[in-house]
Amino acid sequence: MDERNEHIPVIAKKLRIILKGVQAHSKNVEKTCGLSSAKLWMLREVDGTPGIKVSKLAAALSIHPSTCSNMLDKLEKNQLVSRDRSKTDQRSVHLYVTEEGRQFLVNNAPKPTQGKLSNALAQLSPTQLTELESGLDALVQALHFSNDQAGETPIVIGE
C-alpha cells in the first residue's frame, strides 16, 4: 500500500470522530437545555456583545444573515433576545439578551459545539490553519457537493 492509501483510512476515521463528536455534543446540549447548540451559541454571542447588529452576529457565527434572522425569530419568540430598531436608521437592528435569556444562560446552559470547534481552531498555528483550509477545500471539491451555501447554515441536530 502506498503512502497515500495509508492516510485515507486515518483521515476518514478522524473526520468521523469530529462529526460524531459534534453530533453527540449537539444532542446533549438540546437534551440539557432545550435549545440547539447553534441557538445557544447565538445567545451567548449576543450576551457577550450587547447591541450587536444582525449582520455582525451572522459574521461571528459564519452564517448567512437571513439564516441568522430566522434563528433570532425563534429566540425572540421564546423571549430570550430582544431586537431594538435604531431610531436614526430603521434598517439597523441591535440585539440584546433579555432577563429571561440571561437567567437561561446562568442556569448551567452547556457550552455550544460550534464555539468549541472555533476555540479548537483558534489554537492552531496560522500554517496549520492554511494547510487545513487547503485540504478541506480540495476534499469538498473532490466530493462534488453542489450546495455552496451549505456552509452558511449551522448544523442542527434534532430540530
* Domain of residue 79, CATH code: 1.10.10.10
Q: Stretch 16-31: mean pLDDT, rounded?
A: 81
Specify whether the CB–CB gap between 71 and 39 falls below 8 A. Answer: yes
pLDDT at residue 14 in the model:
87
- Split at pLDDT 50, 70, 90, the class of 10 is confident
pLDDT at residue 75 in the model:
95
Could you tell me the three cell numbers for 127? 500554517
Domain of 64?
A: 3-152
pLDDT at residue 99 in the model:
95
Determine, yes or no, domain membership for 74: yes
DSSP character for 97? Answer: E
Could you tell me the three cell numbers for 31? 437534551
Determine, yes or no, domain membership for 157: no
Determine, yes or no, domain membership for 100: yes
State how far Cα 42 lies from the chain centre: 8
User: What integer best gives the mean pLDDT of the chain?
Assistant: 83
Q: Mention every residue, 6+ apart, whose C-beta is less than 8 A from residue 78.
A: 100
Q: What is the pTM assigned to this prediction?
A: 0.66
pLDDT at residue 113 in the model:
52
pLDDT tens-digit profile of 125-143?
Answer: 999 999 999 998 888 888 8
Determine, yes or no, domain membership for 13: yes
| Structural domain total, the chain | 1
Specify whether the CB–CB gap between 43 and 104 falls below 8 A. Answer: yes
pLDDT tens-digit profile of 27-80?
Answer: 887 888 888 888 888 999 999 999 999 999 999 888 889 999 999 999 999 999
* 53 Rama sector, left if φ>0, alpha if ψ -120 to 50, beta otherwise: beta
pLDDT at residue 98 in the model:
96
